[in-house]
Amino acid sequence: MKARTSRSVRGSLLQRHLSRAGVALVFAVLAGVAADAAIDTAEISFSPGQTTFPYGGGVDWYNTTTPLVDLTATSSGTCIWGADSLISVYAWRNETDTLWLPLLVGVDVVPDTANYAENNVVPLHTILVDGNHRQVRVRFGTNCLEYTETNTLEFWADLDPPTAPGTPVDEGDYSNSANLTWTWTAATDDGSGLQHYHVLIGTTPGGSDKNDTYTASEFWEEPNCTHGETYYCTVIAVDNVENEQAAAESSDGITVDLVAPAPAISGDTGLTNATRQLQIDFGEAVSGFVVGDISVSNGTASNLGGGTNGLYTVDITGDDAVQGPIEVRVSIPAGVALDIANNPNSASTPAPYFSFLFDGFEPEPVISGDTDLTN
């Protein structure tokens, strides 16, 4: 079959058709052959291969008001379409059956055939019944002005995307777990209904370099996340005819911290008879660390200071009641401080303790000798 003609050509062909049809009708009546004109079959069906969405109560949904249709018709008798005839195809436009507008106008069919077929036709008109419910019906006409209507196709059209879901919410600014989770409030869709959410996980807002996936729930867990990277979640609502919301907001970002703070103790290890100041470096900011968390053997800790970025100082005084030199041992047990991701610290290094020598014992002189009289 030849390709469909342009709109301007169709208009010209329509005039030709009406003129020819009128003349043909006159001659047909005069010749007594009008009764012999017949359109035997006329049918419309949805074209296969296009995407349909069997959701919403078991009916077919489309995301267009003009889905592709296939048209077929057969004619017999003296007034058929053929080598020198034009047919007209009209789409039903309103509920009262009074307005038919051209769907295809002036289509030349294969010469000397009584069968007409055209596939993947885009209807110019479909009727809105109510809500999302639509119908399409076609009328065929021969050059004898005989018209026959096809069956009526029922379908539902949803052109509007869902509402936006709530912005995804994470667990905070940091996480000490490699599995991150997000939740959001549900989207709604008044047409075909909500199908699922398009979930993007990335290291930039709106990015998808980590994951591009779907879920039907208002929750997503992303496993095996990488230490030190910040993750963002973007959620896009999709309805049952695959309309997606136009824009979505990303979460505010959450950084994965899987490494525990590790305090390192440093200072002079030589012999001293005075209080010695040591440095304690956790490698990152921590909270909850107090002087009482420091374990000291043969001495005491005091004057804990600093703390910026996890760097502290502390005074260690050896036990001057013990005759020295003695070894003063200093350590920090695991789990006494937390970093920003709530990772508890590991035990301090060097292991099992840092030590230095101390001798603060002050001997008392003892004078002895003969106490008898002498000259």
Is the model's pLDDT at 19 over the cut of 50? no
> Between the CA atoms of 328, 329, 330 and 332, what dihedral angle is there, to the nearest 10 degrees?
-160
Q: What mean pLDDT is predicted for residues 257-275?
A: 96
pLDDT bin (cut points 50, 70, 90) of residue 29 is very low
C-alpha dihedral sign at 148, 151, 152, 153: negative
Residue-level pLDDT at 54: 63
- Mean pLDDT comparison of 74-88, 90-104, 139-153, 284-298, highest-scoring range: 284-298
Q: Which residues make Cβ contacts (< 8 Å) with residue 139, sequence separation at least 6?
A: 42, 89, 90, 91, 92, 100, 147, 148, 149, 150
Q: Give the right CATH number for 7-157 from 3.30.70, 3.10.450, 3.90.25, 2.60.40.
A: 2.60.40
* Bigger pLDDT: 87 vs 118: 118
Q: Which two tokens stand for residue 23?
A: 């003349």
Instruction: Give the other-Cβ count within 10 Å of 63's Cβ.
Output: 20
Residue-level pLDDT at 42: 85
Residue-level pLDDT at 113: 53
Residue-level pLDDT at 209: 97
Residue-level pLDDT at 273: 92
Is the model's pLDDT at 53 over the cut of 60? yes
**Polymer length in residues for the chain:** 375
Is the model's pLDDT at 125 over the cut of 90? no
pTM: predicted TM-score of the whole model, two decimal places: 0.71
Is the model's pLDDT at 179 over the cut of 60? yes
Q: Give the right CATH number for 174-256 from 2.60.40.10, 3.30.420.10, 3.30.360.10, 3.40.50.1220.
A: 2.60.40.10
pLDDT in tens, 37-52: 567 888 888 888 887 7
pLDDT in tens, 63-115: 888 888 888 887 776 555 443 444 556 665 555 555 665 554 444 444 345 67
ω into 168 cis (within 30 of 0): no
Q: What mean pLDDT is predicted for residues 106-129?
A: 66
Residue-level pLDDT at 41: 83
Alpha carbons 347 and 351: distance in angstroms, whole number: 8
User: Can you list the pairs that 205-211 forms with residues at least 24 positions away whose Cβ atoms lie under 8 Å?
Assistant: 205/232, 205/234, 205/250, 205/253, 206/232, 206/234, 206/248, 206/250, 207/232, 207/234, 208/234
Residue-level pLDDT at 24: 36
Mean pLDDT of the chain: 81
> What are the φ/ψ torsions at residue 224 (nearest 5 degrees)?
55, 45
Lowest mean pLDDT: which of 25-34, 169-178, 255-264? 25-34
User: Architecture of 264-358 per CATH?
Assistant: Sandwich (2.60)
Alpha carbons 374 and 349: distance in angstroms, whole number: 64
SS (H, E, C) the chain: CCCCCCHHHHHHHHHHHHHHHHHHHHHHHHHCCHHHCEEEEEEEEECCCCCCECCCCCCCEECCCCCCEEEEEEEECCCCCCCCCCEEEEEECCCCCCCEEEEEEEECCCCCCCEEEEEEECCCCCEEEECCEEEECEEEECCCCCEEECCCEEEEECCCCCCCCCCCECCCCEECCCCEEEECCCCCCCCCCEEEEEEEEECCCCCCCCEEEEECCCEEEECCCCCCCEEEEEEEEEECCCCECCCCCECCCEEECCCCCCCEEECCCCCECCCEEEEEECCCCEECCCHHHCEEECEEEEEEEECHHHEEEEEEEECCCCCCCEEEEEECCCCCCEECCCCECCCCECCCCEEEEECCCCCCCCCCCCCCCCC
pLDDT bin (cut points 50, 70, 90) of residue 32 is very low
Q: Which two tokens stand for residue 222?
A: 């992303």
Give the pairing type, strands 194-202 and 230-239.
antiparallel
pLDDT in tens, 316-365: 999 988 877 999 999 999 999 999 999 999 999 999 999 999 998 666 77
Q: Which two tokens stand for residue 235?
A: 């959620």
Q: Which two tokens stand for residue 327?
A: 């070894």
Domain boundaries for CATH 2.60.40.10 within the chain: 174-256
